[in-house]
Amino acid sequence: MSDPIITIEPLTAAAFAPFGQVIDTKGAQHYPINAGKTERFHDLARVELGGVHARPLISIFRGQPYALPLELKLVERHPLGSQAFYPLSAASWLVIVAEDASGVPVRLRAFRPAPDQGVNIAMNVWHGVLTPLERESDFLVVDRGGEGNNLEEHLFETPWRIEARS
């Protein structure tokens, strides 16, 4: 196993590309609608739905804050659909993801989104649970509903430690 310490890095579209998309209005395709009173930032993430009778769900998750350094014992993935998170406040939060090696999460990374960034975690990508840092925070979540088991969890024998850069 790799070093069990993960240093938090800023969230960028390039760094996050192997795991999904960054939801961000900066650089996004956009155009006016509603007689020019609204700007539409179009097609910011690819919603993926697989399995039987799949349908998109829109939810609000209210997450309790975590303190740094953080001990990471568990990651999960959703084999039948993507999962998008967009913060409804400017509170700080983390996105934790991992590559897959024959069903085992490896090479974990932790990203700190800017206040106006969200993420869409691609189907079947290992990721940590919702991780707000400063205070209880609400997130708009778009994911999959429908038949089938859309949750796999992995418990680490040795927890990973996530910490801010020194």
Contacts of 147 (CB under 8 A, 6+ apart): 51, 52, 53
Using only C-alpha atoms, what is the Rg of the chain?
16
| Residue owning tokens 């070093």 | 3
High-pLDDT (> 70) share of the chain, %: 98
Mean pLDDT across the chain:
95
Domains of the chain: 5-163 (2.60.120.480)
Q: How confident is the model at residue 127 (pLDDT cuts 50, 70, 90)?
A: very high
What CA–CA distance (Å, rounded) separates 123 from 144? Answer: 10
pLDDT in tens, 78-108: 999 999 999 999 989 999 999 999 999 999 9
- Is 121's pLDDT higher than 80? yes
Average pLDDT, integer, range 133-161: 96
